[in-house]
């Protein structure tokens, strides 16, 4: 079954998203989870910040494992 998104897709990160992502990238459990993502997606996430927004395509969002997406989705938008 295709994943449904409560955010507009493609999704461009906001100032708030940038703050959350930047902070989360320093957490040990997030560092462990990043190993399960494609390297190109990890690099894109690392570029996100409050003043630097990235746009993520449906294919990029679909590539995030379901258990990780379930924890991430509520923090976006």
Residue 1 in domain: no
* pTM score of the predicted model: 0.85
At 4-38, the pLDDT tens digits run 999 999 999 999 999 999 988 888 988 899 999 99
Residue 61 in domain: yes
The answer, yes or no, to whether the previous bond of 74 is cis (omega within 30 of 0) is no
Residue 68 in domain: yes
Residue 71 in domain: yes
Number of domains in the chain: 1
Secondary structure in 3-state letters for the chain? CCCCCCCCCCEECCHHHHHHHHHHCCCHHHHHHHCCCCHHHHHHHHHCECCECCEECHHHHHCCCHHHHHHHHHHCC
Residue 2 in domain: no
Owning domain of residue 67? 11-75
At 30-65, the pLDDT tens digits run 889 999 999 999 999 999 999 999 999 999 999 999
Residue 3 in domain: no
């Amino acid at each position: 079954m295709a994943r449904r998104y409560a955010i507009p897709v493609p999704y461009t990160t906001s100032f708030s998203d940038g703050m959350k992502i930047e902070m989360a990238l320093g957490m040990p459990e997030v560092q462990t989870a990043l190993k399960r993502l494609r390297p190109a997606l990890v690099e894109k996430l690392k570029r996100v910040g409050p003043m630097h927004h990235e746009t993520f395509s449906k294919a990029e969002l679909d590539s995030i494992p379901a258990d990780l997406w379930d924890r991430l989705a509520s923090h976006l938008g």
